[in-house]
Structure 1
């Protein structure tokens, strides 16, 4: 009996520790994404409406969704240079859109993302997800 109680206390401690060590990630609405529009950025705080790429197929949308939602809070502030791309995630007319800035990393680097309306909060992707973004955006 004593071993069982000690085990349960240990298990509970692990669960509590696991819940408090979660990292902050970017989030999107729990709605079906209709399309994702990408344009070359003209700077922070606004979205360039000259769209050069529309992702509207399920595969591309799912890749972009994973890249965004797996991006974790970045310790650093917003990069000193202007963003490379603006991304607008659309869920349909009845829902708001998500606008995101992207500083696309080179091969072997992380990519930095930021919500358009967030002050100073940036998120970074893995090198693997930078590669996926480069394939989607640049066709590499």
Structure 2
């Protein structure tokens, strides 16, 4: 997946209410460099999967916000299906239906961040 080539200021997480929208009732917020780097790596290394998919509703919505000096930069809204231990996780941009899979190692790191904070 692709993110803007800009510095990320914050990653916000909410329980998803379903496809096509962002639940802005955020339950988690990450601003520290280590957490942001984990999300950035998980998202940018996720591999696009071919074809259309029939998938359950997402677990989480992820909002990626960027630092900007002038006018505000756009945000990225992403659905997340958090995999179980030793499984891949799935990302999907809110605006389309292509899915991207992470590695089991990235799932482990995401689980540690998200589940330890809930």
Query: Scaled by the length of structure 2, what TM-score is found?
Result: 0.91
Structure 1: 4+ residue segments shifted above 2 A = 75-80
1:108 is the counterpart of 2:86:
yes
1:33 maps to what in 2? 8
Which of 42, 53, 68 is matched with 2:43 structurally? 68
1:57 maps to what in 2? 32
Structure with greater strand percent:
2
Q: Provide structure 2 residue ranges, at least 5 long, that are not aligned to the other structure.
A: none
Structure with greater helix percent:
1
Alignment RMSD, CA only?
A: 1.5
TM-superposed deviation, 1:29: 0.5
- Aligned residue pairs: how many? 114
Q: Distance in 2 between matches of 1:122 and 1:109?
A: 15
Query: Scaled by the length of structure 1, what TM-score is found?
Result: 0.77
Which of 88, 102, 107 is matched with 1:125 structurally? 102
Structure showing greater radius of gyration is: 1
